[in-house]
């Protein structure tokens, strides 16, 4: 069956890898982006040129009105929405005592309220249709806590709580809610890390390598698949063993 999949923050990194994976398996993919219009359009054109089904839509996930417009656009373009991947996120390395109130709000509004906005908007369609899958992208720091990333860790831990609670609430409507918790993945988000730190992180990983965007995309794809039909409220670590 051809599914319709919304992926937030999908013009690059993990979201892009997930969009390519779903599209290659024949699904309709709605690629959400905030600022990267050129990259999002290039991705859509690339997928369409290969015969796949894709479209993109600009929306800041922290803004409810923009999210509602995106969900409406997706429904009009592709019909019933089957899968939502809440991937959009930001990170920042900072001492807790230096985090300003504004920085705290931006982090929480993007990484946690964004998940609330997109999920609630999509659920308005999934609950009546009694079918749907939601995959949230948390982080190992949401599980283990990351020093100098307290606001990021708090938001990502919030996503885990949201995932578990919502899985219980919407399970009777045949909607599954799961979460992936990536470890250190080589995307643009890691650009701020110097070579020495990345080498140290690699050496602390039992598989002795850093993750790639496609490693997380595969976990997302699995959780969204029929093969995972009895799995809900789960947090799937994708860390190479960094957190076990
Ligand atoms: P990335 O920076 O390449 O991708 C994040 C995407 O989210 C970007 O395209 C960005 O523009 C988009 N985005 C940010 N704020 C947005 C907003 N308000 N509205 C819409 N889009 C927005 O990094 P990535 O590594 O691909 O990150 C994807 C997800 O994986 C994030 O949630 C991140 O926290 C999580 N994650 C990444 C790592 C890692 O090591 N790279 C580890 C754990 C978790």
Residue 2 near residue 52 (C-beta atoms within 8 A): no
pLDDT at 161 (0 to 100): 98
CA distance 12 to 72: 23
**Inter-axis angle of helices 114-129 and 64-78, nearest 10:** 40
At 22 the three-state DSSP class reads helix
pLDDT at 29 (0 to 100): 98
Atom 32, ligand 1: residue with shortest CA distance: 89
- Predicted ipTM of the assembly: 0.99
Q: Is the CB of 40 under 6 A from ligand 1?
A: no
pLDDT at 5 over 90: yes
pLDDT tens-digit readout, 33-89: 999 999 999 999 999 999 999 999 999 999 999 999 999 999 999 999 999 999 999
Q: Give the contacts of 21 (CB within 8 A, at least 6 positions apart).
A: 214, 217, 218, 220, 221
Q: pLDDT-based confidence at 210, cuts 50/70/90?
A: very high
pLDDT at 73 (0 to 100): 98
DSSP-derived secondary structure for 42-73: HHHHHHHHTT-EEEEEE--TT-HHHHHHHHHH
Q: What is the average per-residue pLDDT within 138-154?
A: 96
User: Within 10 Å of residue 142's Cβ, how many Cβ atoms?
Assistant: 26
Q: Is the CB of 11 under 6 A from ligand 1?
A: yes
pLDDT at 220 over 90: yes
Atom 18, ligand 1: residue with shortest CA distance: 60
CATH class assigned to 4-238: alpha beta
Q: Is the CB of 12 under 6 A from ligand 1?
A: yes
For 153, list phi and psi in degrees, rounded to 5.
Answer: -60, -40
Q: In what order do the strands lie in the sheet with 28-33?
A: 53-58, 28-33, 4-7, 83-86, 132-137, 175-182, 235-238
Work out the percent of the chain whose per-residue pLDDT is above 90: 98
Enter the DSSP assignment of 101: H
Q: What is the average per-residue pLDDT within 202-214?
A: 97
Mind spelling out the 3-state secondary structure of 104-171? HHHHHHHHHHHHHHHHHHHHHHHHHHCCEEEEEECCHHHHHCCCCCHHHHHHHHHHHHHHHHHHHHHH
Q: Give the contacts of 35 (CB within 8 A, at least 6 positions apart).
A: none
pLDDT tens-digit readout, 23-40: 999 999 999 999 999 999
Q: pLDDT-based confidence at 243, cuts 50/70/90?
A: confident
**Inter-axis angle of helices 114-129 and 150-170, nearest 10:** 10
Work out the percent of the chain whose per-residue pLDDT is above 70: 100
CA distance 223 to 47: 22
Which is more confidently placed, 207 or 191?
207
pLDDT at 244 (0 to 100): 86
Distance (angstroms) between ligand 1 centre and the Cα of 204 equals 23
pLDDT at 192 (0 to 100): 86
pLDDT at 171 (0 to 100): 98
């Amino acid at each position: 069956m051809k599914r319709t999949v919304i992926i937030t923050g999908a013009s690059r990194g993990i979201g892009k890898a997930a969009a390519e994976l779903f599209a290659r398996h024949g699904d309709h993919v709605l690629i959400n982006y905030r600022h990267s219009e050129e990259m999002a359009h290039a991705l859509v054109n690339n997928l369409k040129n290969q015969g796949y089904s894709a479209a993109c839509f600009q929306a800041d996930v922290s803004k409810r009105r923009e999210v509602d417009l995106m969900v409406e656009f997706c429904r009009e373009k592709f019909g019933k929405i089957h899968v939502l991947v809440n991937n959009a996120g930001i990170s920042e390395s900072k001492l807790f005592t230096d985090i300003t109130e504004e920085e705290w709000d931006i982090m929480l509004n993007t990484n946690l309220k964004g998940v609330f906005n997109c999920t609630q908007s999509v659920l308005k369609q999934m609950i009546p249709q009694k079918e749907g899958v939601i995959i949230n992208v948390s982080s190992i720091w949401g599980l283990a806590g990351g020093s100098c990333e307290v606001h990021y860790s708090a938001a990502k831990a919030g996503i885990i709580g949201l995932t578990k609670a919502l899985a219980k609430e919407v399970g009777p409507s045949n909607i599954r809610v799961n979460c992936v918790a990536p470890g250190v993945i080589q995307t643009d988000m890691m650009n701020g890390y110097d070579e020495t730190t990345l080498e140290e992180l690699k050496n602390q990983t039992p598989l002795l390598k850093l993750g790639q965007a496609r490693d997380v995309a595969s976990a997302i794809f699995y959780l969204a698949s029929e093969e995972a039909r009895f799995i809900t409220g789960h947090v799937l670590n994708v860390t190479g063993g960094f957190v076990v």
